[in-house]
Amino acid sequence: MADQNGRKPLELSRELGLIAAIACGVGSIIGSGIFKKPGLMASQLGSPQLLILVWVVAGIMTLFGALSIAEISGMFQDPGGQYIYFNKGFNNFVGYLYGWAVFIVIQTGSIAAIAYVFSDSMGYFVKFPRLPAAWEDFSIPIPFIGSMTPFRYIGLKLCTIALIVFLTSINYLGVKFGSAIQVIFSTLKVLVIAAIVVLAFTLGHGSFGNFVQSAAVGGAASGSVFLMFIMAMAGAFWAYDAWINVTYMSGEIKNVQKNLPRAMAITVLIVIVVYVLVNLAYIYIIPVGDMAQKYRQAEASGGNYLVAIDVANNFLGNWGGALIAVAIMISTFGAVNGTTMMSARVYFAMARERLFFRKLGNVHPRYRTPGNSLVVQGLWASVLVLSGTFDQLTDMLIFVSWIFYALAAASVFTLRRKMADVPRPYKVWGYPYTPIIFIFFASVYIVFTLYTDIINFTTHKVPLINSLMGLLWVAIGIPGYIYWSLKKRKADR
């Protein structure tokens, strides 16, 4: 599209090969979930076999989603990935709502939350300064969310913001810089996790009998095994989340119509193998019953239980906690970098479609990156860090994310009807069953999430129905769509 002077705008530079794309995918998926979720999932299931099965099933469902979207990713070369696919498969309104949700919290909230975990792990080695209690208790009420506490844990928050600013700057200076960091840290995190697995089985004092030793768990013992399994799936899906992010880089991947589908499938397969092996190592060292008991004890005391620390302590003694803190820092550093790099391309694509702030669609003339989009993303993520509300917001929007995942798989069918003649370098394996199965599982997850939110609201007196509030936050962006679409039509006329 030319500007008013007839000049074509600068385009993003296609500099990412297959390996870099896979590194971006792996790096953005593997964050803190594999360290934080197994204890909770063990308390829900009480069975080593079910625990492993949850990770496998969630991985296969994620793979089915990736294979479905891979077909669409091979059809288009435009930057913005899933945002563009919604525009093509449905309409601009659906695409805009997705992009708005990505900006307002899905990805910016993820950047804030993952960067916060990095700083929290750094706190194992560094004591962060804190303000007096009167400052920390200062709060600003936010309708439908809770309270904003900008001065609480200020040292931890400033470290988090510093990480966001640093990685935003790196990606501002060129996609090669960001992708190089992503390759390095993706490799490091896989090597560190592999080391934990190998050391657990070689130096750890464990037992293969733990793989058949179940524990009595309240929910499962009462006959609601299926409900407990679905609840545990939520933890696994959180750890697999961000699998769709690599599509956002479609404007910068070489030979994108072949490399992007390959990168998506290979990324998810790598992550499945990593997650299953890690959990096997966890179970070998710590029986599932012990995991569940320690998690409940930590939860009752307001603490946080990481199975990985117990496992590392088993073969390293008192150095185990330090190893896991370093592993989490490496893992979350790469995840923040990958999410920062990829997500900014969505707002860039929206601006190019004239459905967002126009200046976010500019390409930096020297670095050939969506510089303005990166800066605004970093600023908003930093605001979420200061507010202290990103956990509440991401809890609300994870429900919305899965609605969009289901719609993304459904767009395979709409595009086969609307664009039957468009070449498809890759066609989804197992069509139509693969996307149908994924849509079914996503729908079950959506319905169950809404059901549990309503139960928690009515029975446990939780102040908000998170899933419905997530829909409200998405709806807040609708006036923006009306404004930008009317402005776009007027300009076209």
Q: What CATH number is given to the structural domain containing 148?
A: 1.20.1740.10
Question: Closest Cα to residue 65, out of 449, 450, 429?
Answer: 429
pLDDT computed for residue 219 by the predictor: 44
Single-letter residue type at 184: I
463 domain residue, yes or no: yes
CB atoms within 10 A of CB 368: 18
In a domain, 8, yes or no: no
Instruction: Judge whether 259 and 246 are in contact, CB under 8 Å.
Output: no
11 is a domain residue: no
Following CA atoms 197, 202, 205, 208 in sequence, which dihedral angle do they give, to the nearest 10 degrees?
A: 80
Q: Helices in 102-208 by DSSP H: which ranges?
A: 107-122, 133-136, 154-172, 175-202
Note the pLDDT of residue 223.
46
300 CB burial (10 A radius; 0-12, 13-18, 19+): exposed
Cβ contacts of 272 within 8 Å, gap of 6 or more = 55, 56, 59, 60, 62, 63
Residues 6+ away with beta carbon under 8 Å from 116 = 156, 157, 160, 385, 390
Q: Domain limits at 41?
A: 18-492
**Alpha helix positions (H), 123-153:** 133-136
| In 252-389, alpha helices (H) | 256-285, 288-300, 307-316, 320-352, 371-387
Among 114, 91, 95, 142, CA closest to 27: 114
First to last CA, the chain: 16
Is there a domain that residue 359 lies in? yes
Of 383, 122, 341, the C-alpha closest to 242 is: 341
4 is a domain residue? no
In a domain, 9, yes or no: no
Q: What whole-number distance in Å separates Cα of residue 1 and Cα of residue 9?
A: 7
Instruction: Extract the residue ranges of the chain whose pLDDT is less than 50.
Output: 1, 218-223
Q: Find the helix or strand (DSSP H, E) in which 234 lies.
A: helix 225-240
CA distance 16 to 322: 34
Q: Is residue 185 part of a domain?
A: yes
Closest to 12 (Cα-Cα) out of 186, 170, 176, 184: 176
Q: For residues 260 and 80, give the distance between their C-alpha atoms in angstroms, rounded to a whole number.
A: 13
Query: What is the tally of structural domains in the chain?
Result: 1
3 in any annotated domain: no
